[in-house]
Amino acid sequence: MHTVVVGTSGVTASDVLAVARGGARIELSAEAVAALAAARGIVDALAAKPEPVYGVSTGFGALATRHISPELRAQLQRNIVRSHAAGMGPRVEREVVRALMFLRLKTVCSGHTGVRPEVAQTMADVLNAGITPVVHEYGSLGCSGDLAPLSHCALTLMGEGDAEGPDGVVRPAGELLAEHGIAPVELREKEGLALLNGTDGMLGMLVMALADLDTLYKSADVTAALSLEALLGTDKVLAPELHAIRPHPGQGASAANMLAVLKGSELTGHHQDDAPRVQDAYSVRCAPQVAGAGRDTLAHARLVAERELASAVDNPVVLADGRVESNGNFHGAPVAYVLDFLAIAAADLGSIAERRTDRLLDKNRSHGLPPFLADDAGVDSGLMIAQYTQAALVSEMKRLAVPASADSIPSSAMQEDHVSMGWSAARKLRTAVDNLTRIVAIELYAATRAIELREGLTPAPASRAVIEAVRAAGVQGPGPDRFLAPDLAAADAFVRDGSLVAAAETQTGPLR
């Protein structure tokens, strides 16, 4: 099994995906163990002094003015975990919880948190055992970190609360730890706070969304090309020299992908009744501009994620010179903004895909295709309601594009009076990514059927490869009306697992 070694300098996006989705094992580097021990020595020295130090010998948040005596400090650390594990609502997905825990371990191993090496090792042991704490949908404001979600994870380390075992069954965490030979941790000064105070949930969801959207943008380029082909559009608008004079990188990549898919097509440039079209509609002609802007948004979000993956997010932090200082690095604004940006870009990509689908189904705009791509229009409704489903998804995407990060709600008796709402931005982006996958799948379903209805003209080799692969995956071609939901589900799976991009790339080579 793949192993990820966690050091002091952060982790990569591929590390997060390997642990969250691939079940990779985790090891702590010798460098990380040494850094953990050194930082803990600083915390222990401060804990022995009479002067109060936030997070070490004081309360938290609005209660930070109380100095906590040594005999109560272990209780304080247990209590912060128990009281902050206040989430409600549906369970969060296993991959999100694994990313959340792994990213908190990443910061712990930086040597800036003051956590003992044995606590970090227990975090790795829990992940390696396939134990997943039960984390709930609601509870994070994205400031002072994803407090409630991380608290539910810390509760499992203490042997309390509920967790899911590797068999998928939810049981008391203490039982699961005992079965795997893992001793519950007894938290000491600062450790409870250090396990809770990070942007790890929203960052983990950002990393996974970036991976999914990278595939989806390539998928959307393929379906846009198939729709252009089915509509007998012109590929001249994809010429590299046209995109070179407006040099947005994403736009150029999207146009190049579409041109590669259309290479060798006999459909492009043909027109119904030999009536030449001067220009295609915006949803066809401007596909690279819209998808390209989304790709550039992805690039910016990836840069933010890379910076955050290299960060140590905690409050207070242990510095190399021995100081323990309060800070505001736990504020989720940098991550929250890009999560919202991505939801906006995804909504627009879904919107333009739906417009192309609608054009394929409208006999007045489809240049000779049958109404709704039906076998016997009137007796058959064809893909009429598939477009309704797509439109409903687009409508929800627009609602999900409303920024969460533009909101703030005060908490902790006005001590935490401005929050990022980054967790909320991440949760709605996950829904948006799911919806976008379905929208692209419906365009794929319509475009492949439309191409097959263009008798006498040969589609591009890449288009043929996609059609053959999607039919082999159980998505049926033209014909009389049938139960449509299974076909759409098969198309969704074909897009979701990357099969659409893989099929096109058998002819185009790697898409950009």
Active site residues: 54
CA distance 360 to 450: 7
H-run or E-run covering 251 = helix 249-262
CA distance 59 to 75: 11
Instruction: Measure CA of the first residue to CA of the last residue in the chain; give whole Å.
Output: 30
φ/ψ region of 475 (left if φ > 0, alpha if ψ in -120 to 50, else beta) reads: beta
What's at 425, amino acid-wise?
A
What's at 136, amino acid-wise?
H
Q: Are 291 and 224 in contact (CB under 8 A)?
A: yes
CA distance 199 to 142: 7
DSSP character at residue 62: G
Reply yes or no: is the peptide bond before residue 510 cis, omega within 30 of 0: no
- In degrees, rounded to 5, the angle at the alpha carbon of residue 428 between the alpha carbons of residues 425 and 432 is 125
φ/ψ region of 10 (left if φ > 0, alpha if ψ in -120 to 50, else beta) reads: left
Q: Dig out the tokens for 206 from the structure.
A: 């950002």
What's at 408, amino acid-wise?
S
- Would you report the helix, strand and coil content of the chain in percent, each value rounded to 5? 55, 5, 35
Identify which of 426, 383, 493 has the alpha carbon closest to the alpha carbon of residue 204: 426
Strand partners, 163: 133, 171
CA distance 91 to 132: 11
Query: What are the helix (H) ranges across 146-239?
Result: 147-157, 173-179, 191-194, 200-230
- The angle that helices 117-128 and 30-47 make with each other, rounded to 10 degrees, is 130
Q: Are 451 and 445 in contact (CB under 8 A)?
A: no
Rounded to a whole number of angstroms, the CA Rg of the chain reads 26
Q: Dig out the tokens for 253 from the structure.
A: 């990549």
Identify which of 95, 141, 48, 119 has the alpha carbon closest to the alpha carbon of residue 423: 141
CA distance 202 to 225: 34
Q: Dig out the tokens for 43 from the structure.
A: 């915390």
Q: Are 437 and 494 in contact (CB under 8 A)?
A: no
Residue appearing with tokens 């598939």: 386
